[in-house]
Structure 1
Amino acid sequence: MAKAPAILTEVLPTQSGRGIGVLTLNVPEAMNAVDLDMVNAIDERMKTWRDDTNIAAVILRGAGEKAFCAGGDIRKLYRSMTLKGRTQYRYADDFFRAEYRKNYVLHQFTKPLIAWGQGFVMGGGLGLFVCASHRIGTESLRLAWPEVRIGLFPDVTATWYLSHMRAPWGLWMGLTGSLMNARECKQLGLTHYAMGSEQWPVMLELLDNLPWQDNIACNHQELRKGLQQLEQTTTSELPVARLEANEEQVSKWLAGDDLVAIAKRMSAYNGNDEWLLQGINNLFEGCPATAHIVLEQIRRGASMSLKEVVAWELDIAWQSVRHPDFAEGVRAMVIDKDFKPQWQHNDIQSVPRSWVEELVRSPWKVNEHPYVDI
């Protein structure tokens, strides 16, 4: 039996005569994790639809109910990092270079781009999700940047979103990898709409009946009005947002710019809120060096352009695949599943500044950077 394509594409006809492109990540058994071939296929198809005047809008979705996309295929990245010989790191380098470029290009997509956020939306999958101009969170949405748990760093434009998010939640998400639900994501600007998954066929009917035209701005406006109406008529019960109830506490923990002091305040928590406790546990079991990178992202990101963010994140990714924590984190959490990563440093306090500076330093001269042309 032939293996199903990892990317499915179709064009839905509409009453106006225009088409709606639908791109489905189709690896539900792996929570739609993307590899290099999928990244390239997404890039090629989206460029085709961008240039096709018949395509009025595009939907991004994941197959199955578990996930839109749980991130990159880190098993393949692990194999690349642990290979011996001249091809070591080659796949990982190619993957990150293609993924970040593809996402930067998608951020320039001017037609309405709808992302259907169902189930897990994490890491690189979240990077794809936030490219969309109309991001929908459903009752099952579980959104996070969980890279601290595997020794990577929040990437694929995470620097931009975390540093522009209202305090303290950008730093909280980066340090703890905490899962956010649909209401929380809307409050933080990570989604634009929160609605029940029962609205999927209703949304398709809406898209069929909208008066699509050549004026892209008008198309966005009509779509926005239609999706807002769907949001107001949803029947599913959406999870309660936890931000307001916890904002004062988290703000106290994350005050200032001293990561060691932040960690000390968090470790002193003696409450019983499961969400907060899980976040604290993620930080202290996660990679100490990643926590330092996250703080650098918050410090620098707010003053960077999106192009600068993408280029800098590629620098950090290049360094990360050559530093031992990333491979060790994937080994412990995904390959061997002993859940006991042996990080290079025992705790946040033990990470020297020189280690952090090396991780965030570009390996390329300015005029030789792979993204000098974007």
Structure 2
Amino acid sequence: MPIQVQEIPCQEGNIGLITLDSPATLNALSASMIREIQAVLDQWSDAEHISLVIFQGAGNRAFCAGGDIRELYDVLAGEGDPDIPASFFVNEYRMDYTIHRFPKPIIAIGHGVIMGGGLGIFSACRYRLVTPDVKLAMPEVSIGLYPDVGASWFLNRLPGRIGLFMGLTGARLNVSDALRVGLADMAIQKDHIEPLIERLKQERWTGEAAADDNRLFRLIKQLEHPDYRALPVSELARHEQDIARLSAGDELPDIIETLLAADIDSDWWRECMGSLRGGCPVSAWLVWTQLKKAQQMSLKDIFRMELTMTTRCIRRPDVREGIRARLIDKDQAPVWTYPSVRDVPETVVEEHFEPELNDSNDPMKLD
């Protein structure tokens, strides 16, 4: 089973616990895992005995490293049904949207790696707890994709142009970064996770008590938390003024050239610039465009836009080439269809956003 599902009795009501259970793949989301999560959420949504839900990841290394892109590569590289990759993303985005709109509180307890599709789940939860070892990122620019799973929504809600910077560079955020920009709500030590669940079990979660978000928040806040002064130094605190200054402007090629030319002595910054320099030029344009378009969009329309974008991406050669270079052959030298952002035709970018999905043609059937 790619997930573990438990119903934990409390004094009144039950906690629904979903554990992503593929530690060998850093709990990467497979097609079967997504289908099972959706089925469980659909069942629990209307189940009177389930009062709140918790997501966590099995193993010591990751909450979830994202979608299983090796599984995606096998389909793209073969002669299989071309609709299979599209159906994977239809189901994944529907699952993320379900979590965003779930009628009961959902707590995510994130540790280790939280990237891509893992951050899609994590960001959709109402309460987001992180352990001190956490690493968050949206690194899709390195494989010819773009930050999806609702990233058009949550990256746009970060201060300044940090969301754009994360999308262009795949920047890895530590626990202090995540707390600083609101991608996580509070930190928790790993050995306090089980006491948290035990504390929740002692409560009554039925009737008005189940709907009292303030009560749940106060209970979580009462837990012992790490000394925030002992957490890793926030890289964003060191660099957010640089990011704001260098990312200002209305022309993407100029912004990228300015970022790459900046003389900043920092290992973290150099790693970000390495990912930006080696990233897919079409992906950079998609990040730029999706964030601009999504500013005035509802969550539903954001997922619809991203599904159209992804459908176009997986029909182009860059995704297969990016996965090959990064994860299959591991030569780290993808040959993109265009050598730089200045070489990407506007029509290539525009076709990723057409046609628009609506209530009548949405395969996700979002409510």
Same fold? TM cut 0.5: yes
Residue 81 of structure 1 corresponds to which residue in structure 2?
Answer: 76
Give the Cα separation in 1 of the matches to 2:313 and 2:249. Answer: 26
Secondary structure at the counterpart of residue 164 of structure 1: coil
Single out whichever of 227-236 and 54-63 deviates more from structure 2. 227-236
Report the equivalent of 2:121.
128
Matches of 2:271 and 2:301, distance apart in 1: 33
What one-letter code is carried by the residue in structure 2 that aligns with 1:325?
D
| Unaligned ranges ≥5, structure 1 | none
1:287 equivalenced with 2:280 (yes/no): yes
SS in 2 for 1:272: coil
Q: Would the alpha carbon gap of residues 299 and 177 (structure 1) be closer, same or farther in structure 2, given more than 3 Å must change?
A: same
Counterpart of 2:43 in structure 1 is 48
Q: In 2, Cα distance between the equivalents of 1:236 and 1:267?
A: 32
In 1, are the aligned partners of 2:91 and 2:364 still within 8 Å (CA)?
A: no
Q: Does 1:338 align with 2:334?
A: no
Preserved contact between residue 196 and residue 236 of structure 1 (Cα < 8 Å): no
The answer to whether residue 2 in structure 2 is matched with residue 9 in structure 1 is no
User: Is 1:207 matched up with 2:203?
Assistant: no
Which of 228, 239, 242 is 1:249 aligned to?
242
Measure the CA separation in 1 of the matches of 2:64 and 2:231: 20
- Answer whether contact 1:193 1:227 (CA < 8 A) is retained: no
Does residue 103 of structure 2 align to residue 110 of structure 1? yes
Does 2:175 match 1:182? yes
2:150 & 2:3 partners in 1: Cα distance? 22
Percentage of identical aligned residues:
35
Write out aligned runs for 1:199-348 (5 A).
199-215=192-208, 218-230=211-223, 232=225, 237-348=230-341
Shift of residue 185 of structure 1? 1.2
The superposition leaves residues 318-360 of structure 1 with CA deviations (integer Å, 9 ceiling, x where unpaired) of 0011011111101111111111111111112211111111223
How far off is 1:142 after superposition? 0.4
TM-score after normalising by structure 2: 0.95
**8 Å Cα contact 1:182/1:239 also seen in 2:** yes
2:21 counterpart of 1:26: yes
* Aligned Cα root-mean-square deviation (Å): 1.8
Whether the 8 Å CA contact 1:112–1:219 is kept in 2: the answer is no
Moved more, 139-148 or 73-82: 73-82
1:159 paired with 2:166, answer no
Shifted more, 195-204 versus 139-148: the winner is 195-204
SS at match of 1:230: coil
Q: Aligned in 2, Cα 1:130/1:373: closer, same or farther, shift over 3 Å?
A: closer
Q: TM-score, normalised by structure 1?
A: 0.93
Unaligned runs of 5+ in 2: none
1:65 aligned residue: 60
Q: How many residues align?
A: 367
